[in-house]
A and B are shown apart, each in its own frame.
Chain A
Amino acid sequence: MIMNIITSPNKLRGIEGRIKVEKVSRRSILKGLGIVGGLVLAAPVMSRQAFAAYQTGAGKMPHGTVVDPRVFVAIASDGTVTIVAHRAEMGTGVRTSLPLIVAEEMEADWSRVKVAQAHGDEVKYGNQDTDGSRSTRHYLIPMREIGASARTMLEAAAAKRWGVPVAEVKAVNHEVVHSATSRRLGFGELAADAAKESVPAVEGLKLKDPKDFRYLGKGEVSIVDLRDITVGTAHYGSDTRLPGLKYAVIARPPVTGGKLVSFDGTAAMKVSGVEKVMEVQGWPWPSKFQPLGGVAVIARNTGAAIKGRDALKIVWDDGVNGKYESAAYRTELEAAARKPGLVVRKEGDVDAALKAADKVIVGEYYLPHLAHVSMEPPVAVADVKDGKAEIWAPVQSPGGTREDVAKTLGIPEENVTVNVTLLGGGFGRKSKCDFALEAALLSKALGAPVKVQWTREDDVRHDFLHTVSAERIEAGLDKNGKVIAWRHRSVAPTIASTFAAGAAHAAPFELGMGLIDMPFEIANIQCENPEAAAHTRIGWFRSVSNIPRAFAVQSMVGELAHATNRDQKEMLLELIGSPRIVNLDSVKDPWNYGEPYDSYPIDTARLRRVVEVVADKGGWGRTVPKGHGLGIAVHRSFVSYIATIVEVSVGDKGKLTVHQVDTAIDCGMFVNPERIQSQIEGAAIMGLSLAKYGEITFKDGKVQQGNFDDFPLVRIDEAPLVTNVHIVPADPDTPPSGVGEPGVPPFAPALVNAIFAATGKRIRALPIGKQLET
């Protein structure tokens, strides 16, 4: 769907009054729902990819892309090149990868490059939402164009200095060379003149031949923050210190949608170091990204604030969600999955085919809520004074944070500066800026800079949780064991419910994550989405709806292989079917991660290839010791293709050991294979955590977990320590696709398929917990 958003006239800065924004990004989705009254400013230079081999959805993100070397590159007279990183670093390596692309293309020597972090300013930098595994995918070409522009300007300046045609000079490793006369000028010597050159038209730029790449695709450059991280000087959200800084923690309503009735801060005020106890404004449910409200304790240090909060006496009104209870809710979801629901994809006649089938296999799968628990809990520092606000925060969406701070404080966006620190993990939690808004409100009220620190319990109990879902698949087989019917019902509270009261069906971006984009070649397919009401804040969690969908679909492949006595991999390849572009004409809005289908189609040849590659490199079919089993799964998400093989064993008392993980990824053209590897290693561990332990439950509307004792994560002594990553080499013209998220979805189904192979026990509900003990 395309819609027009009218920008506020006083914000236009001379730019066109209307731009088209498609519902592609997390923020624009909200705008599409009519629930964020935000402003959309046209960027001074919108995405132009006239000569690129492919198109992306980058231009349709809020504020599009900006391709301007004057914004992203500065060259000092000593030759130091500073390149701006405009996306947030949360562990994917993007703060290194994007500037590296610019350096590559402009022929800068990486050892003489400094990276500067952009603050939140999307008019200047273009879209800054670091989410959806989009950064490399949307910025490979724009960053190359920026680098090529800078190189062209340096070459033009040198040619003028020497009085030779520009065609005779060439930038090579931080200098421009005139080989005919062996003259050379360093970038530093050319900086002042190059800055006077006009910025060349993007359409006329010449990009480097990929065979001349020094950095791209090599994986030999470490992340720019590596040393700082190892010596303790890396700057995260909680590390901002300002003169007169106050430290705050907040007691929030224990039930989502609840509110403060009264509080007594007398005892809290007696705690040494506590300076003030005060109410924090909360927003009514559904509260979007706005604060939940509650009572803040302000102190001279965080420890005193926490101790003071423990001494508060508070009366809450639990509100409409006070009866939310996980076991009952699971029953509701599972019941809904057994009844017809909203049809979101329909090919052939699934009812007739199931009736005619020789055998019908039914799989009912359940996956609970998950908390993000990045190692750095939410935290933000704000300094609000004289109608201006400055924020220091680990936010994935600095542009959105800026908009929301301005709106919440009632000041113009120009008066808000959002400094983006390193993120101590994000995983989608830090796409929501409620913690920064809390700090802004408190700083304004106190007239002093404030840090709001969330404790781990705050983080677990007031997260924007990963949804909880029931997935039900019915597969009908003919008498030859061929699957002729496939009905998938997916029931889960939607992220849209956090923004629009009563939203009960999945949004297109959720349907498009493993449900309506299911790639199997089956004659009769029907996907349904029965209603589910939300009773807590639901948000994006790394890989989002792909986690339950891939779990259900790929577990079902294992079940079908067993039912028809076939090898899992052979079953999988048969279901994927012929190499083809999947036709999604029957789907109203295929979403496709916001990407044009022409550039990023569902290509089953690529899907098959990652299965073949992982099977080959990962030794599918090898003989494993007694008690061990191999499992396989494949899933396309964030327009990348990923297949995983897991080898497990299950010991006497149900002790689960993951011996080896092999993952093949086809993410198109890539920048830094070493960081792809680290993302996939980490995805296996996050996948194991969610499969083994991950579960947030509610009773009386309250989250029952609070810390790593009752929401455990996998530790080093139980983690897979052999994860082999096989990157499928890509042609340089193959558009880049996601890396940060797609590693997670195939892990859990590969794991349970392996457990089945080892034990004959089929796990259909996560977490595994104690299911293997009996």
Chain B
Amino acid sequence: MIKMKINGQERSWDGDPDLPLLWFLRDEIGLIGTKFGCGQAFCGACTVIVDKQAVRACITSVSDVGDRQVTTIEGLHPTGDHPVQKAWRQGNVPQCGYCQTGQIMQAAALLMENPKPTHDQILEAMSGNICRCGCYQRIANAVQLASTGV
């Protein structure tokens, strides 16, 4: 039996320990805000925060999580008003929106580690997250906005 702490809640799993965290979150406990994009950590759609680090849930097995804290988009902020979320809305960032929870989690992790990133640091940190609609201009601006106060 594997025990995990997800968004502050105890969760357990007694199936395949190699199951990617992504599918545990989505299919087993219904946290559907974390998205499937590529399954190979190429696109970042499934980004969650483990302790304070952005992690691709599609290649992280549940047994790798151990006793670390997992935060998903659902647990990022109690009312959905994390500065990154607010900046995203203020900047009208999304088009289809599918990759955006992963983008937001990546940006939130960046700001935890580096509250005042430079433009280049933003681009570097966000470069693992693909947006097919092409919202990059607004993503870059929104991360900057979140870092300077919304």
**B contact set with A: CB distance below 8 Å:** 15-16, 18-20, 22-24, 26-28, 30-40, 42-43, 45, 72-74, 80, 85, 88-89, 92, 94-101, 104, 123-124, 126-140
**A375 CA to B42 CA in the complex, in Å?**
11
The answer to whether the Cβ of A761 comes within 8 Å of any Cβ in the partner chain is no
Cβ–Cβ contact A425 & B85, under 8 A:
no
Cβ–Cβ contact A91 & B96, under 8 A:
yes
Cβ–Cβ contact B27 & A301, under 8 A:
yes
Cβ–Cβ contact A234 & B97, under 8 A:
yes
Cβ–Cβ contact B133 & A715, under 8 A:
no
Closest to B120 in A: A717
Cβ–Cβ contact A715 & B85, under 8 A:
no
**A contact set with B: CB distance below 8 Å:** 89-93, 222-223, 225-227, 229-236, 238-239, 241, 247, 271-273, 300-304, 306-307, 373-377, 422-427, 453, 455-457, 674, 678-679, 681-686, 707-709, 713-717, 719-723
Cβ–Cβ contact A301 & B136, under 8 A:
no
A117 to chain B, nearest CB (A): 14
Cβ-defined partner of A375 (8 Å) among B26, B80, B131, B138: B131
Cβ-defined partner of B89 (8 Å) among A89, A226, A707, A713: A226
Closest to B122 in A: A716
Q: Which residues of B contact A91 (CB under 8 A)?
A: 94-97, 133
Cβ–Cβ contact A716 & B139, under 8 A:
yes
**A556 CA to B95 CA in the complex, in Å?**
33
Q: With A236-B98, A375-B131 in contact, is A230–B126 under 8 Å at CB?
A: no
Cβ–Cβ contact A681 & B137, under 8 A:
yes
Chain A interface SS verdict (over half) = loop
Closest to A241 in B: B30
**A283 CA to B89 CA in the complex, in Å?**
45
Closest to A709 in B: B42
Cβ–Cβ contact B15 & A273, under 8 A:
yes
Q: Which residues of A contact B24 (CB under 8 A)?
A: 301, 303
Q: Kindly count the residue-residue contacts between A and B in the assembled complex, taking CB atoms under 8 Å apart.
A: 198
A746 to chain B, nearest CB (A): 15
Cβ-defined partner of B39 (8 Å) among A425, A455, A674, A684: A455
Q: With A247-B27, A682-B134, A707-B42 in contact, is A233–B36 under 8 Å at CB?
A: no
Cβ–Cβ contact B80 & A231, under 8 A:
yes
Q: With A91-B133, A374-B132 in contact, is A303–B23 under 8 Å at CB?
A: yes
B100 to chain A, nearest CB (A): 5
Closest to B32 in A: A239
Cβ–Cβ contact B98 & A376, under 8 A:
yes
Closest to B141 in A: A721
Q: With A456-B40, A722-B137 in contact, is A717–B127 under 8 Å at CB?
A: yes
Cβ–Cβ contact A456 & B38, under 8 A:
yes
Cβ–Cβ contact A715 & B130, under 8 A:
yes
Q: Which residues of B contact A92 (CB under 8 A)?
A: 95
21 CB < 8 A contacts A-B? A91-B133, A222-B92, A226-B94, A230-B80, A238-B36, A272-B16, A301-B28, A307-B16, A373-B132, A375-B99, A375-B130, A678-B133, A685-B134, A685-B136, A707-B39, A708-B40, A714-B136, A715-B130, A716-B131, A719-B134, A719-B136
Closest to B17 in A: A272
**A647 CA to B85 CA in the complex, in Å?**
32
Cβ–Cβ contact B129 & A716, under 8 A:
yes
Cβ–Cβ contact A231 & B38, under 8 A:
no
Cβ–Cβ contact B140 & A716, under 8 A:
yes
Cβ–Cβ contact B96 & A423, under 8 A:
yes
Q: Which residues of A contact B132 (CB under 8 A)?
A: 373-375, 425, 427, 686, 713
Besides A91-B97, A716-B123, 6 other CB < 8 A contacts? A222-B89, A225-B94, A229-B100, A231-B85, A303-B16, A713-B132
Q: With A231-B80, A374-B132 in contact, is A678–B96 under 8 Å at CB?
A: no
Q: Which residues of B contact A674 (CB under 8 A)?
A: 92
B83 to chain A, nearest CB (A): 12
Q: Which residues of A contact B136 (CB under 8 A)?
A: 685, 714-716, 719, 721
Q: Which residues of B contact A247 (CB under 8 A)?
A: 27
B103 to chain A, nearest CB (A): 9
Closest to A674 in B: B92
A536 to chain B, nearest CB (A): 21
